[in-house]
């Protein structure tokens, strides 16, 4: 009886091994790619001078500045005063200029004369305080432009400007 069970049992073992060898195990799913953030100091609690200058304006002038990566609440603030002719000349409505804050796409449109909206604008002012929260910069630096624009054909204007960004 023992001799009869052994060949049957051996056949069952061989069949089990053959069946398990034919089974292909499902490949383990590929691990999800890991996204590593570069380690960099946070700009929070710092500030940056953007523009501290006296300059002349005939048609328009732009001043680029960059917000560093990971700036959660960049806040632009400052003021400008414009004069007809030289500094501290006439500073009434004849000295009015437009002031714009533009991102890169908007500035590209501005340069090519295409209509576009501005992040922030002040029309026809010769003395203006500016307080504006810029969008968070996330994981990349972001470039912006302060643009001063006069009307063509007007006399030369001189502008005193002082702007900072707090992070």
pLDDT tens sequence across 103-149: 999 999 999 999 889 999 999 999 999 999 999 998 899 999 999 99
CA distance 68 to 142: 7
Check residue 78 and give its pLDDT: 98
Both tokens of residue 119?
A: 């992040």
Alpha helices in 65-140 (DSSP H): 104-111
pLDDT tens sequence across 56-111: 998 999 999 999 998 989 999 999 999 998 888 778 888 999 999 999 999 999 99
Residues whose CB falls within 8 Å of the CB of residue 49, separated by 6 or more in sequence, listed in order: 163, 164
Q: What is the CATH number that goes with domain 49-158?
A: 2.60.120
CA distance 47 to 74: 9
DSSP count for the chain of H helices, then E strands: 2, 8
Contact status, residue 130 vs residue 75, Cβ threshold 8 Å: no
Check residue 34 and give its pLDDT: 61
Give 152: exposed, middle or buried? Use CB within 10 Å, 0-12, 13-18, 19+.
exposed
Cα 83 to the chain's mean position, in Å?
Answer: 33
Check residue 85 and give its pLDDT: 85
What pLDDT band is residue 47 in, cutting at 50, 70 and 90?
Answer: confident
pTM of the complete model:
0.71
Residue 144 to residues 49, 50, 63, 91, 107, Cα–Cα distance (Å): 13, 10, 8, 28, 8
């Amino acid at each position: 009886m023992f001799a009869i069970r052994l060949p049957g049992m051996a056949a069952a073992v061989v069949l089990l091994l053959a069946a398990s060898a034919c089974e292909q195990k499902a490949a383990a799913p590929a691990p999800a790619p890991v996204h590593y953030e570069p380690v960099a100091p946070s700009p929070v609690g710092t500030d940056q001078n953007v523009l501290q200058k006296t300059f002349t304006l005939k048609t328009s002038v732009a001043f680029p500045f960059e917000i560093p990566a990971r700036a959660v609440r960049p806040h632009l603030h400052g003021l400008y005063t414009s004069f007809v002719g030289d500094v501290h000349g006439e500073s009434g409505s004849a000295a009015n200029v437009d002031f714009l804050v533009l991102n890169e796409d908007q500035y590209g449109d501005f340069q090519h004369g295409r209509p576009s909206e501005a992040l922030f604008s002040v029309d026809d002012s010769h003395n203006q305080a500016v307080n504006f929260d810029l969008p968070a910069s996330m994981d990349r630096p972001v470039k912006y432009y302060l643009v001063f624009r006069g009307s063509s054909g007007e006399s030369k204007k001189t502008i005193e400007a002082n702007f900072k960004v707090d992070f």
